[in-house]
Each structure stands twice: as structure tokens, then as C-alpha cells.
Amino acid sequence: MDIYSSKLPIIILIILAGVFVFQFMSNDNNSPKIDSETCQLYIVDSQFNGKRYLDEYDQKCLDFKNLNP
């Protein structure tokens, strides 16, 4: 395939769109999220549609909060 071919950009766009769709479909709702106020990790509990905290803290978030009083 020639680099100056008109098909190359279309193939690259299709590959990038496939990667985007794969990332969107594999996004897990049970992956831990970070509470911006307390830097505590939580997951969304589907039984009562609320936050369930894991009693763990994100160290990077805490460091950032300590830098900005």
C-alpha cells in the first residue's frame, strides 16, 4: 500500500473508530471511581443506585489536595 494512496486515511479512520468503540464497550461500571471531595474510592451499587465506599483513598488526589489548601 502506497502512503499517498487515497484509501490509507479511510483505513486509519476505521481502525481508530474501532478502538474507540472497543474502549467505550469495555468501560466497566464496577471499576472504582474517586470522590472529588474526599478522595475516597467508591463504586456505584446497582441495588440502591448509590455510592458504596471502599474505605480506601487515592494518594495522588490527597497529594493534590494538600498542594492546594
Instruction: Check whether 4 has a pLDDT greater than 90.
Output: no
In a domain, 22, yes or no: no
In a domain, 11, yes or no: no
In a domain, 48, yes or no: yes
The confidence band for 3, taking pLDDT boundaries of 50, 70 and 90, is low
The string of pLDDT tens digits covering residues 14-51 is 999 999 998 887 776 667 888 888 889 988 877 887 88
One-letter identity of residue 34: I
Burial 23-50 (b: 16+ CB within 10 A, else e): eeeeeeeeeeeeeeeebbbbeeeeeeee
Cell numbers representing residue 46 in the block: 446497582
In a domain, 50, yes or no: yes
Of the candidates 57, 19, 9, the one whose C-alpha atom is nearest the C-alpha of residue 35 is 57
Q: Which domain holds residue 53?
A: 27-69
pLDDT at 1: 61
In a domain, 9, yes or no: no
Number of folded domains that form the chain? 1
C-alpha dihedral sign at 61, 66, 67, 69: positive
pTM: 0.52
pLDDT at 67: 76
